[in-house]
Structure 1
Amino acid sequence: MNVPLVLPEFLDRAVRLYGDKPAVYCDERVFTYRQLNERVNQLSHGLKDLGVKKGDRVAYLPPNTLEMLEGFYGVFQLGAIMVPLNIRLKPEDYLFILNHSESKVLFVDQDIYHLIEPVKEQLETIEHIIVQYKADETNEIDYNEWLSTYPKTTFTRAELDENDVCSLLYTSGTTGNPKGVMLTHRNNYLHALCTMHHLRVTDKDVYLHVLPMFHVNGWGSPFYYTANGATHICLKSATPESIFNAIQEHKVSVLHMAPTVLNSLLQFYEKNILEIEQDVRVVIAGSAPPPAFVTRVEKELGWEFIQVYGMTESAPLSLVSSILAQLDLLSPGEKARMKAKAGYPMIGSDVRVINENGEEVVHDGKEIGEVVTRSHGVMQGYWKNPEATMETIRNGWLHTGDMGTIDEHGYIDIVDRKKDIIISGGENISSIEVEGVLYEYLGVLEAAVIAVPHEKWGETPHAFVVPREGHSITEAEIIAFSREKLAHFKAITGVTFVEELPKTASGKIQKVHLRNEYWNSHGKTGRFIN
């Protein structure tokens, strides 16, 4: 008899094998896997009592907490669909997503409730709002009081099929409204099996939740770390200080984050040299970092650097940049360059780089094409948006919108998003490549490069730079440095100094806001607004 690949099995396994082992640390609280399972059962009983049934959507708006983690399994036992929400959106964004998803129940953290309150009366399908860590003045259901009224006994699950949609994740839209990505139990289950292999997850791991659980690379962690009986460390607020404190206190062995967050940890470590005894793996998703960045992480922090690549629509990960055995004799500098790439396909993912004719580009690390993938993780489609689904998935291939190259070893290097490629005098320039050079300049803390119009060349690279504290740098110096390190047509032609760069909740730099800022400051609109 075939056993369906459904996600509650992961927690079942952890309870059977690791029932008395610490499963979750959150604030000053600690719960074993057996206790976590009891809370999950209480949640499922409670949701059923509220009328939630198979196929209903249940929305979550908390930071990384025990309550968020247990929500996944509590919702899944009913065959309901989890709708995790980005904690850094605006009230009108929540209004759209909650109404578009037709969510029935909303769980929200007290610290974020003020973003729901202005639109509460406009929510069309939400029947119950339940507040976690509720303050006395908030007139809603208190989560812990509500949960405590339900039994910890085994919950009789809905009949689950591996092709049932279990999660609905809304991508942040820079144009139009966000799109809801439908992922199935099978998507997430097989992705977890693949990822736990490539990230070498074991029951000895202690995982620190830095990336938000609603985020694409944070999304899978409740599955593959739970399945292996690893210990979860939840942080409501992930600052450099709190991250390092948790790493030391709990002997954290693995954490996922965006490059900008890792950069902030490096800056903190420079001023606060800390002793970390255990081996640590840091998994980075986002724009490819410069090789010098990889070297700093591995030499200064002593952590193993693992670059991964993916997107919400592929559940998410497709590529990993670990060093293949046959490349182990490369020099440290060459290894750093390989690790800085997006990497080679994970098991179960067929990832290619194709030209405009749909043909694979030459494996020379030079010819640029679009990255496409087909895998067990590719979404079922966009919720209530068949047009966007057909535009993104064509002939069985998910078109990522990312442009890349592939080298003779099979490593893919993301050079830019389609919209971020700079075309100067007919030449394609990768903003990521230019940013990598700027990060080598001592006085640069953070940098982002966009295209700006140029009378002669059409477009040229322009840098937004956050100066490093205690360093005085000028536009002329940075331009001269980029001209020394790059072909002249790739060098930046202007610099805007800023105190900080706009980022998503996961730490990804939002270049669309930089383009808008540039145009607004120059009294124009339109061309580069996405």
Structure 2
Amino acid sequence: MMDYPLLLRSVLYRANTVFPEKEIVSRDYSGIFRYTYRALYQRVSQLARALDRLGIDAHEHVASFAWNHHRHLELYFAVPCSQRVLHTVNIRLFKEQLIYVINHAKDRVLFVDEDLLPVIEEIATELPTVHTYIVMTDKSELPATSLPNAISYENLIAHEEKDYEWPIFDENTTAILGYTSATTGMPKGVEYSHRGLYLHCLMALTGELGTDESDVTLPIVPMFHVNAWGRPYSDTWIGAKQVYPGSRPQISDLCTLIDQEKVTYSVGVPTVWMGILNYVRQHPGKFDFRHVRYFLSGGSALPMALIEAYEKELNIHLYQGYGQTETTPVTFIGMQKAKFQSLPYAEQLQKRAKSGLLVPGLEMKIINAGGEEIAHDGVEMGELLLKGPWVIKEYYQDPEKTKESFKDGWFRTGDIVTMDQDGYLQIVDRTRDLIKSGGEWISSVDLENAIMGHPAVAEAAVIGIPHERWQERPLACVVVKPGETLTKEALMAFLEARVARWWLPDDLVFVSEIPKTSVGKFSKKTLREQYNSGQL
């Protein structure tokens, strides 16, 4: 066999060679922007040449601080394919965290969206390694900014040649640097190699329910977090029409794009799917979703009631996936085995509400506190460990965290799970979110799903609170759907028939919203802080 490295340049090459006329759609500041894969290739080449001109050497870090749009997609290719490293900075990190990750990465150039300029302007004096700022806007003039050495993106690439000699190098070279969303402590750096991203793409085209050239994809999950779950690369490789939601997309924008661009596939977190369902309910007959093949949900547990509502009200299959920043991210997908298709609907639903089956290419084991592997009976719980070609081997320049997170060559996910006899994984909880009451474990995830099964509940999050006798007891924070009314008594009566009596929350607190993390998950850390300060 040829000694041919697995590099992202192959993805770009195929899109330009095989699908040059296929369309990419991007919601820009002045309206909808459309171009082709041929034009993408040309602009990527221009951007790579511009980075040469700026003096950015191989392996140096280039940062993006941006939403999901076509310019960000161009960075996804121009930076790593020219042997540099793209650091996708999470735009929702706190000020101190932003300063930390940009300095820790030693970014040389920072590409920033026009509407995010104030965030970077506030911290620019504390970013000593950044020497140039590129402002991404569709306006002809550079927006007013206090950033030093600021250049308009379009002006940067405008006069460069539209082709580039892409280098060949070691496939284990870092392509993208991302950081965890920092639920505890400072974010941890995670390096994604060309080889890992390449193989993750191949898995996505075979094990992730499959997409092809006929699909129209909408990556709602942010490009600044875990590579938008790999969609920008896998969708480019197969020549799918890609639709990017742009700056600060609202639920109404997403619904409009799904309708008008005839989206067939999209990926997002459960809070997004809840929002879309409720918005469609509020605007009956306004949107046509008949062309949608399925949606994929991840980031946190998918309530069974939401899966059922999508099928019955929108005729859309909503599937669940599971992964982490450290795993590029996809590791499990909630595909339905053929043998279950003849089961009663309620039983099929139970399988689909689980986190899913291990994707091709990875290995796993589940161990108890003593380090022994547990039975795959759907009951016994343990910590999930993973190994594979797109699982990290260390945290970027953080030996202490690396030592804590690996065991005999396996990555410790920190998730407590069960696995049934059919191979379906179920996330029970994060180790820090399990509630230990009277020596027994209560899964906050399962309790949340039960609560969100009530037709009047929009969202629910459960945390453990100290208890003098039982050590911890569950407290449920509940958001009621607009226009609905619900009492504690009615909700407790609903739960009594669905969970063990000792799982019932000691209290139910109705709140206007559940705080979210930077990537749209329920922030239980914030809820605990609110409880401790008397705000709940």
Could you state the TM-score of these two structures normalised by the residue count of structure 2? 0.95
- Please identify, of 428-437 and 349-358, the stretch whose mean Cα deviation from structure 2 is larger: 349-358
Q: Give the 3-state SS of the residue equivalent to 1:382 in structure 2.
A: coil
Matched, 1:415 2:450: no
1:174 aligned partner? 183
Match of 1:220, SS?
helix
Instruction: Tell me the amino acid that sits aligned with residue 23 of structure 2.
Output: P
Q: Verify: 1:249 aligned to 2:250, yes or no.
A: no
Contact 2:135–2:153 at 8 Å: present in 1 too?
yes
Counterpart pick for 2:103 among 77, 99, 110: 99
- Which of 25, 34, 37 in structure 2 is aligned with 1:33? 37
Residue 510 of structure 2 corresponds to residue 497 of structure 1: yes
Structure 1 residues 419 and 321: alpha-carbon distance in aligned structure 2, compared to 1, 3 A threshold: same
Q: Which moved more, 1:29-38 or 1:138-147?
A: 138-147
Query: Which of the numbers 199, 204, 223 marks the counterpart of 1:190?
Result: 199
1:149 Cα shift?
2.6
CA distance in 1, matches of 2:227, 2:211: 15
Distance (Å, rounded) in 1 between the aligned partners of 2:369 and 2:463: 23
Identify the residue that residue 117 of structure 1 maps to in structure 2.
Answer: 121
Q: Does 1:386 align with 2:396?
A: no
Cα deviation, residue 283, structure 1: 0.6
SS at 1:44 equivalent: helix
SS at match of 2:203: helix
For 2:254 and 2:127, the matched residues in 1 are separated by 36
Match of 1:260 among 247, 259, 271: 271
Matches within 5 A, 1:357-376: 357-376=370-389
Change (3 A) 1:219 1:53: farther
Q: Taking every aligned residue pair, what percent have the same amino acid on both sides?
A: 36
Superposed displacement of residue 105, structure 1: 0.5
What pairs up with 1:407-446 in 2 under 5 angstroms? 407-446=420-459
* CA distance in structure 2 between the aligned counterparts of 1:409 and 1:280, rounded to whole angstroms: 25
1:255-404 equivalences under 5 Å are 255-273=266-284, 274-404=287-417
SS in structure 1 of the partner of residue 34 of structure 2 = strand
Post-superposition offset of 1:522:
7.2
The Cα of 1:184 is off from its aligned counterpart by 0.7
C-alpha deviation, 1:344, in angstroms: 1.1
Indicate yes or no: 2:480 matched with 1:479: no
Q: How many angstroms does 1:147 deviate by?
A: 1.6
Larger deviation, residues 470-479 vs 234-243: 470-479
Task: Please tell me whether residue 50 in structure 1 is matched to residue 44 in structure 2.
Answer: no
Give per-residue Cα distances to partners, 1:26-83, cap 9 Å, x unaligned: 4321111000000000100001111112110110001011111110101012211110
Q: Letter of the aligned partner of 1:68 in structure 2?
A: H
Quote the Cα distance in structure 2 between the aligned partners of 1:478 and 1:516. Answer: 25
What corresponds to 2:12 in structure 1?
Answer: 11
CA deviations 1:245-292 (Å, max 9, x no partner) are: 111111101000001110111111212223223133101112222322
What corresponds to 1:72 in structure 2? 76
Residues 18-27 or 486-495, more deviating: 18-27
Separation (CA, whole Å) in 2 of partners of 1:287 and 1:498? 20
Task: Kindly provide the amino acid, as one letter, of the partner of residue 9 in structure 2.
Answer: P
Aligned match of 2:85:
81
Kept in 1: contact 2:479–2:514 (CA 8 A): yes
Q: Is contact 2:110-2:133 (8 Å) kept?
A: yes
2:160 counterpart (144, 150, 161): 150
Deviation for aligned residue 1:387: 2.0
- The answer to whether the 8 A contact 1:213-1:221 is kept is no
Letter of the 1:15 counterpart:
N
Q: Aligned letter for 2:99?
A: L
AA aligned to 1:270 is: R
Instruction: Give 1:426's aligned amino acid.
Output: G
2:251 to 216, 237, 240: 240
8 Å CA contact 2:384–2:415 kept in 1: the answer is yes
Matched residue of 1:521: which SS? coil
> Which whole-Å CA distance do the structure 2 matches of 1:318 and 1:31 have between them?
33
1:512 aligns with 2:525: yes
State the superposition RMSD in angstroms: 1.5
Distance (whole Å) between structure 1 residues aligned to residue 55 and residue 499 of structure 2: 62
Select between 285-294 and 391-400 the one with higher mean Cα deviation: 285-294
Structure 1 consecutive aligned stretches of length 4 or more whose deviation exceeds 6 Å: none
- Is the Cα–Cα contact under 8 Å of residues 82 and 168 in structure 1 kept in the other structure? yes
Letter of the aligned partner of 2:241 in structure 1? T
* Aligned counterparts of 1:370 and 1:210: Cα–Cα separation in 2: 29
Q: How far apart, in 2, do the equivalents of 1:317 and 1:110 lie?
A: 31
Unaligned runs of 5+ in 1: 524-530
Once the 2 structures are TM-superposed, how far is the Cα of residue 159 of structure 1 from its aligned partner? 3.3
Distance across 1 between alignment mates of 2:318 and 2:366? 24
1:522 and 1:47, CA in 2 relative to 1: closer, same or farther beyond 3 A? closer
Q: Are the aligned partners of 2:461 and 2:524 in contact in 1 as well (CA < 8 Å)? A: yes
8 Å contact from structure 1 (residues 381, 389) kept in 2? yes
